[in-house]
Amino acid sequence: MGEFFLRALGVFLLCGFCTMAWGAAGAIKRPMLIHRVSLLGLEIWTEARPEWDVHIDLGRGSPSFIAETPALSIPPAGMSWTLRPDIAFTAEEIEDGARGAIEQAAWHYGLREPRQLELRPASYGDLNGYESVFSGDAHGTPVDVQIFCGHRLGRPAVLMQAYTLKGKLGRIAGHIRRSWTHVRYL
């Protein structure tokens, strides 16, 4: 019995030590699905476990790639990437251009004073631009939104949005980071 206890304790300590060493070396990599969306000219990563539902929306004049959590996910969330092939900014125009695009999107979430939004510089994957976080309304439901508008110099602008229930944006921050940091032009 004593020998069994010592062996079990040794295995337990060894496993704990390996876990600490492995944890110090890096975090677990989550599986992601890579979508090469030729209509948008973008490579977009979305969660694989659980797999987010994806589709392309052509209804707003500019093509959008939409990814949403599966049914019964808590919190429900979504992300979208909209390419604006008609808009390309110079380095001097990007802040004003991003502000205009973000304010227009915020207006659709019910913000009546979008000019008061705070923008901060941000970079994701191939894109450099500006982002903002705000609370709004989506069809009668209070939501929190993180929105980014950016581009790579000489390429079309991309508007990225992530949205979920009000007060839950922090719960999807990892999903946003894993997805947005890998966005690339094809």
Nearest residue to 152 (alpha-carbon basis) of 120, 184, 105: 184
Report whether pLDDT(22) > 50.
no
Q: Give the mean model confidence (pLDDT) for residues 23-36.
A: 73
The confidence band for 27, taking pLDDT boundaries of 50, 70 and 90, is low
* Extended beta strands in the chain, E state: 32-37, 42-47, 53-57, 64-68, 77-84, 120-124, 127-138, 141-151, 157-165, 184-185
Q: What is the pLDDT of residues 151-164, one digit of tens each?
A: 998 899 999 999 99
The confidence band for 148, taking pLDDT boundaries of 50, 70 and 90, is very high
Q: What is the pLDDT of residues 84-143, one digit of tens each?
A: 877 778 888 999 999 999 999 999 999 888 788 999 999 999 999 999 999 999 999 999
